[in-house]
Amino acid sequence: MFRKLLIANRGEIACRIIRTCQRLGIKTVAVYSEADAKALFVRQADEAHLIGPAPAAQSYLRGDVIIEVARRTGAEAIHPGYGFLSENAEFAEACAAAGIVFVGPTPEAIRAMALKGAAKALMEGAGVPVTPGYHGEAQDEATLLTAAQQIGFPVLIKAVAGGGGKGMRRVDNESEFPELLKSCQGEGQSAFGDPRVLIEKYIEVPRHIEIQLFADSHGNAIHLYERDCSLQRRHQKVIEEAPAPGLPEAMRQAMGEAAVKAAKAIGYRGAGTIEFIVDVSKGIAQAAFYFMEMNTRLQVEHPVTEAITGLDLVEWQLRVAAGEALPLTQAEVPLNGHAIEARLYAEDPEHDFMPSTGTLSRLVFPSGVRADSAVAQGDAVSVFYDPMISKLIVHGKDRGAALDALRTALIYTRAEGLKTNLAFLRRIASDPDFRAGEIDTGFIGRHVERLTAPWPDLGPDLGPDYDIPSNTASSPWHDATGFRLNLPPASPVDLRHLTDALDEAHEASEVIAPMPGLVVAVHVTEGETVEKNQPLIVLEAMKIQLTLKAPRAGVVTGLSATTGEQVSEKAMLLNVT
């Protein structure tokens, strides 16, 4: 086993890796940007080294600088976490050239799955079912539009190098195809350095079910069952659970076998995830599943797999990278109970999930619940990185017990000082349709009004070591949905209408930044005539890219935004007069 490990990542995954290393007696080296100088993972590591300014391109994506730190500190291996350099084949090769172990798959396996179109072609050849679509090399608009017409609307445009919910656009008809294609290509170029796209049939009622797999360098490959990640907003996951609710055992076995087949087809090594789209338009019992993509790394939602198997997947990653064989065969992998993970984000669900920044004046979790956090009370959430604050993971003997534990844990959690999605998560955990397992990727969109209604937070004041009561079923806090004091329950429709009314009070000609962020594109010039809803400026912050459109037809005046500029929330960018 390694004596010293460098963690080429930040936030909660860096903290997560540090915990396993501490248990195994492995010294840890953190690398950090100027924005993360006081971050929780920096404080927890055995040693930490500054590698550059806040922008990821100048710090966490500087593989050469990170490898130099590893050399200087005597780190024998580098764990890339997820995101950043975790699926970068060139970085894996550079590690090998420097005599440092890359905790992940081979560069060849990363490349085989890096581009979605090529990966789908490979999976087709291996006999794994794939979603109908166009995965060709030609990228001109006419070819792509023809492909979309042949597939049949609605279709999904996806950046070939995309991931994390970025670089995806649903297109419902031919008229909106050109604009959404351009938008997707631009996001692909900005986020991944590759504007190429593929076209897929949009499955109207899909569930997102993925298989956790593991392989070693001795020819062994197994799966650790499935996770359901269907509850999403902006194609990014919010709630994950394992095993998938209602999944027939025959389908579980078929999906697991397909995932292992995919891993063996590319000579895979380490942790990986095969993501499937499952068409549940006729119910889960008659559903067909299709390969979507492979993530050649650990996933954010790996803790629910750990909860139902009792395994430490980071430890498995380290042992496989050190040359050890998998410790279990397929038949020996446990499957106990049900686990659910909820992602606590710094964002405002009542305003289209806009990211939020600021200092967490209070952050408290009840004991008895696993909370994988990126920050601690008193820490700041900056504009530069992912807005996730923490992941809450609960486990129960079955799904009902896990849901009860999740709802109670969320009610007793406190996150104050900035906008968060805590009330939104409480609503989901209490929602009767979610509890009944009636879920698909459109669930949040269909129920957004009731899920974003304010939560009457009247719970007791808690300390950091407060235990969740064992008799939660009889606790008045077990279901606070209807709590109120002397007033009727607030209507989500009325509250949202009031917020629309507030927006209309602003001068209709102004285009204002709805969030702090980086200006990645300015599509207009001073004095240009524009139409209503014409794209004007693209902002990017905290993994979200937002296109600001003209509020009316008119002429652009007072243009102050420039590409590459960091702007503050509510900054006036231009006028349309």
Half-sphere exposure of 460 (CA within 13 A, CB side): 14
Residue type, 55: P
DSSP state, residue 130? B
How far apart, in whole angstroms, are the C-alpha atoms of residue 375 and residue 365? 12
Residue type, 513: A
116: alpha, beta or left? (left if phi > 0; alpha if psi -120 to 50): alpha
What is the Rg, in whole angstroms, of the alpha carbon atoms belonging to the chain? 24
Is 196 among the residues known to form the active site? no
Q: Which of 16, 252, 297, 370 is catalytic?
A: 297
| Residue from 408, 406, 372 nearest 390 by CA | 372
- Measured N-to-C along each axis, helices 249-265 and 116-125 cross at an angle, to the nearest 10 degrees, of 110
Instruction: Count Cβ atoms within 10 A of the Cβ of residue 217 and give its class: 0-12 exposed, 13-18 middle, 19 or more buried.
Output: middle
Contact 134, 198 (CB under 8 A): yes
Residue 282: both structure tokens together = 């006729």
Q: Give dist(CA 345, CA 165) in Å, integer.
A: 15
Angle 34-302-517 from CA coordinates, rounded to 5°: 35
What is the pairing mode between strands 155-163 and 166-171?
Answer: antiparallel
Angle made by CA atoms 81, 347, 402, in degrees to the nearest 5: 70
Dihedrals φ, ψ of 6, to 5°? -95, 135
* 304, 228 contact by CB (below 8 A): no
CB within 8 Å of 237: residues ≥ 6 apart: 165, 208, 229, 231, 300, 301, 343
| CB-CB contact of 210 with 274 (8 Å) | yes
- HEC string of 347-389 equals EEHHHCCEECCEECCEEECCECCEEEECCCCCCEECCCCCCEE
3-class secondary-structure state, position 169: strand
CA distances from residue 174 to 73, 140, 145, 179 in whole angstroms, order as listed: 56, 15, 8, 10
Distance between CA 280 and CA 326 in Å, rounded? 34
Instruction: Give, in degrees to the nearest 5, the angle at Cα 427 between 425 and 429.
Output: 70
DSSP 452-467: TSPP---PPP--TTPB
- Residues 486, 387: Cα–Cα separation, whole Å: 36
Active-site residue set:
297
